[in-house]
Amino acid sequence: MRDLTGRRALFVGGSSGMGFAAARLFHGLGATVILAGRSAARLERARQTLGNSPAVTSLALDMTDLDQVDRALLQLPAGGIDHLVISAASVTHGPFATQPVTELRMMFDAKFWGAYGLARAALPSLRDGGSITLFSGVLSRRPGINCAALGAACAAIEALTRGLALELGPRLRVNCIAPGMVRTELHDRAPPERREAMFQSTGNSLPVKRIGQPEEIAEAVLLAATCGYMTGHVLDVDGGHMVRQYAT
Ligand SMILES: NC(=O)c1ccc[n+]([C@@H]2O[C@H](COP(=O)([O-])OP(=O)(O)OC[C@H]3O[C@@H](n4cnc5c(N)ncnc54)[C@H](OP(=O)(O)O)[C@@H]3O)[C@@H](O)[C@H]2O)c1
């Protein structure tokens, strides 16, 4: 494992799920971490879970409000961040024929435009040799019924990753994590019985026969953020979702 002493990383979406797991891993390896999200209470809870350490601070922001994002990131010292990790998103799905477009625009505002605006606002804060890690999802290339727009948002993030890697290199590297199904708070809205049944049936369809844990995705974030020869890459961390067997 790498020693991240002296590095500073900003995790937007760091109060929950995979963002929190990645922040915990980076913190454990010696990095100073900044957790960002909308809810001050969730940020505080995450900070406490990391032991209330002085190496963990928080920044409350809503990534759908790009003016607020600009103002929030101005609070960071110029050149003071090595790694930006953006896992935050609000996702929605529903039938193509009936799902209100306003809902889908809100999803794009968070998942795509939020990440776009954050990456841009963070540019002055990112040190030379630093990295940006974005999050898409397997739906970008392996669609699911009722998920056409979410898949499109994920595909847009992957295209943004490749474009930014080209445009921001060699100063910065830009990569993307495409998770498969992972047990996080994202799924808390579903009724527990339905959620567990979905986890079970998705897990059974995968070569690894289970869904993922946030800590497994955190390891991929660490690789993307710190491997100096990796940029413009979309890293599938999905238990083999892309090579699932056809129905027998
Ligand atoms: N979990 C899965 O099965 C799965 C599968 C494929 C892809 N993904 C993708 O992986 C990423 C991480 O998912 P996760 O499961 O770790 O999510 P999660 O547990 O729901 O965490 C989401 C985080 O983002 C923050 N957030 C949400 N909306 C925000 C906004 N508008 N502005 C700022 N912060 C915001 C949340 O805090 P607040 O609510 O306090 O703002 C929270 O910290 C997402 O992009 C998701 O689409 C997830």
pTM: predicted TM-score of the whole model, two decimal places: 0.97
Which alpha helices (DSSP H) does the chain contain, by range? 17-28, 40-49, 66-74, 101-108, 115-122, 148-168, 192-205, 214-226
3-state secondary structure of 237: strand
Indicate if ligand 1 lies below 6 Å from the C-beta of 239: no
User: What domains lie within the chain, and their CATH numbers?
Assistant: 8-187+214-235 (3.40.50.720)
pLDDT at residue 79, as a whole number? 80
Q: How far is the CA of 87 from the centre of ligand 1 (A)?
A: 6
CA angle 159, 178, 21 (to 5 degrees): 130
Instruction: Report the nearest atom of ligand 1 relative to the CA of 18.
Output: 16
Supply the pLDDT for residue 163: 98
* pLDDT tens profile 201-242: 999 999 999 999 999 999 999 999 999 999 999 999 999 999
Question: What amino acid occupies position 129?
Answer: G
Instruction: For ligand 1, say whether the CB of 185 is within 6 Å of any of its atoms.
Output: yes
For the Cβ of 87 lying below 6 angstroms from any atom of ligand 1, the answer is yes
Dist. CA 61 → ligand 1 center (Å): 13
Question: Is the shortest distance between the CB of 63 and ligand 1 below 6 Å?
Answer: yes
Residue 86, ligand 1, Cβ within 6 A: no
Q: What is the pLDDT of residues 32-51, one digit of tens each?
A: 999 999 999 999 999 999 99
pLDDT score, position 118: 97
Please, are residues 208 and 180 in contact by the beta-carbon 8 Å criterion?
A: no
Q: Is the CB of 91 under 6 A from ligand 1?
A: yes
pLDDT in tens, 91-143: 999 999 999 999 999 999 999 999 999 999 999 999 999 999 999 999 999 99
| 88 Cα: distance to centroid of ligand 1 (angstroms) | 4
* Distance (Å) from CA 239 to ligand 1 centroid: 20
Task: Give the DSSP H/E element, type plus range, for residue 182.
Answer: none
Q: For ligand 1, is residue 88 a contact (CB within 6 Å)?
A: yes
The letter for the amino acid at 230 is M
Instruction: Indicate which atom in ligand 1 lies nearest the CA of residue 109.
Output: 31
Q: What is the DSSP letter of 77?
A: P
Q: Is 121 in the pocket of ligand 1 (CB under 6 A)?
A: no
Which pLDDT value is given to residue 121? 96
Residue 134 to residue 31: CA distance in whole angstroms: 19
Mean pLDDT, the chain, as a whole number? 96
